[in-house]
Amino acid sequence: MPRRASLSNLSLQQLQQIIESRKSEISRLERQRNLVAKKLNAIESRIAALGGSARSRNGVRVRNEKSLPEVLLGVLSKSSKPMQVGDITDAVRSAGYKSNSPAFRSIVNQTLIKDKRFTSASRGVYQLKK
């Protein structure tokens, strides 16, 4: 948008016209944004219906029914032997847990370390605490 001349030289009527023109432009752009948002939501729904992964938009994070520690508890309780972090991560995702994090495996590992319900059987291998 070109830079306007100093507003101090303009009459009151000219200033009001500029304000009205800007309000009109804002209104038009908001309508356009709402239409694009509806189209994007429809596309996101189609992707999800086809089994695609959810994608974070505008800082909105994915919400899961259960917390990560609860899902980890379920995954490890079904296993009769200790599991490696990679296998645990795969099982958590298979259980329906969604995450947009590119470092989800690290998050799983940190959760296993911090939560007292889990114990390390050996390096990178975890089980339920007995």
Q: pTM of the full predicted structure?
A: 0.55
Model confidence band, residue 45 (pLDDT cutoffs 50, 70, 90): confident
Q: How far apart are CA 130 and CA 128, in angstroms?
A: 6
Euclidean distance between CA atoms 5 and 33, whole angstroms = 29
In whole angstroms, give the CA distance from residue 70 to residue 73.
5
What is the bridge-based pairing of β-strands 118-122 and 125-128? antiparallel
CB 85 within 8 A of CB 108: yes
E strands in 30-107: 83-84
Structure confidence by residue, pLDDT tens digits, 7-30: 778 899 999 999 999 999 999 999
Say if strands 125-128 and 83-84 run parallel, antiparallel, or are unpaired. Answer: antiparallel
Tell me the pLDDT tens digit for each residue of 63-77. 889 999 999 999 999
Q: Is 11 exposed, middle or buried (0-12, 13-18, 19+ CB in 10 A)?
A: exposed
**H or E, element range at 127:** strand 125-128
